[in-house]
Amino acid sequence: MAAKHPAPAKSQASIPDAPQYTSAGDLVPPVDYRRWIYLTSGLDMSYSAQSSGMSRFDNVFASPAAYSQFVATGHWPDKTILVLEVRGAASKGSINKNGHFQTTNLMGMEVHVRDSSRFPASQYPGGWAFFDVVSRSKATLIPQTAECYRCHQAHGAVDTTFVQFYPTLLPIATQMGTLSATYQADASGNNP
């Protein structure tokens, strides 16, 4: 993807915590995302009828400025970063005997970035791109042909993001009328 996404000029950040890229065109993973705004967690969520067979939590965080703008407008601003952190789930440990808790096993991380100057809407709906965090200093762009793009575009409640699973944001989007038509069609009679 390097040819399509050469090293950018200086950051055109419209909000703090805007995405930063390496000269090779990779995203620099946000180091401080655990101090960002927590949106939700899921356990073993799956969009196919078949379970993944692994037990893991997904934790989602938004950059504080992006979160504040969502609360104010019901939409994600340009330069939004959402981080999906995948952690191991355990059941027996310390005094816990039932259910699931999160472990120190950080199993993976993905980043969803809205950056319309870098990812033109003609190719990346809404200017959003997904990145896979491969190291502390590098997250590689997931090709636009990947299933995640199609599914987020088809089912995301707001701006191709899964606000239907973010319990503090869904009421805001509902009130502000920013829910996508595709989500509303999904949700009729099947509202999470």
Q: Which residues bind a copy of itself (CB under 8 A)?
A: 34-35, 37-38, 40-52, 57, 59, 61, 64, 67, 87, 89-90, 93-106, 151, 155, 157, 162, 164-165, 167-168, 170-171, 183, 186-187, 190-192
Q: Which is nearer to a copy of itself, 38 or 75 (CB)?
A: 38
Structure token digits, residue 30: 């946000």
CB count in 10 Å sphere of residue 22: 12
Question: What's the DSSP call for residue 157?
Answer: S
Q: How far is the CB of 99 from a copy of itself (least distance, A)?
A: 3
Give the nearest distance from C-beta 138 to a copy of itself in angstroms: 21
Residue 144 to residues 20, 21, 36, 183, Cα–Cα distance (Å): 19, 18, 27, 21
- Between 84 and 141, whose beta carbon lies closer to a copy of itself? 84
Closer CB to a copy of itself, residue 68 or residue 140? 68
Report yes or no: 147 and 156 within 8 Å, Cβ to Cβ. no
Q: Least separation, in Å, of the C-beta of 62 and a copy of itself?
A: 11
Check if the beta carbon of residue 112 is closer than 8 Å to that of residue 81.
Answer: yes
Shortest distance in whole angstroms from residue 175 CB to a copy of itself: 12
130 neighbors 162 (Cβ within 8 angstroms): no
Residue 2 or 106 with smaller CB distance to a copy of itself: 106
Closest approach, Cβ 130 to a copy of itself, in A, equals 17
CA nearest to 174, candidates 184, 188, 182 = 184
Closest CA to 166 of 26, 27, 58: 58
Please, which residue, 20 or 168, has the CB nearer to a copy of itself?
A: 168
